[in-house]
Structures are given as structure tokens and as C-alpha cells.
Amino acid sequence: MVAATTGIERAGIDMGGVAALTAADVSELASRLDRDDYNNPFEALDDWHLLRAIAFQRPELVDPYAYLLDFCNYDEV
């Protein structure tokens, strides 16, 4: 049985490699999320989590794609 590849593996990116990502890498990831170009919802979820991790570690790369993350401001008080 052949294991399916995740969106992260298709992109050649792993969660530990966020520091090495370029703007082109993030653009490809965001484009795939925007097109909803996945075989199953778990691939989309993997890419969404990766984009979210990038947003926390390298926010300058994600600014143009923040709409894909749908962050909500919560009153922590």
C-alpha cells in the first residue's frame, strides 16, 4: 500500500524548515490553499497549519495571505 503524500510533503516543506522558506515558497502554499487544490481535507489542513506556523514565526511572509488564516481578535481581558 502506498501512503498518500500531504500538502506539506508535496511542497517540499516541513514544520521545522520555516526559517528557510522564501516568499516564493509561501506564495505557492497560499496559492494552493486559495485554489483549494487538494485530494482530501487533511492535505488542506496540513497546509493551513503550516501557513499558520509561518505566520507566527515569519509574519512578513504571510501578510499578503492573512485572509486565508481567518484570525479572530479575542478580548483576553
pTM of the model: 0.72
C-alpha cell at 3: 501512503
Q: How far apart are CA 62 and CA 67, in angstroms?
A: 9
| Domain boundaries, given as residue ranges, for the chain | 7-68
What tens digit of pLDDT does each residue of 23-67 get?
999 999 999 999 998 999 999 999 999 999 999 999 999 999 999
Contact by Cβ (8 Å): 16, 54: no
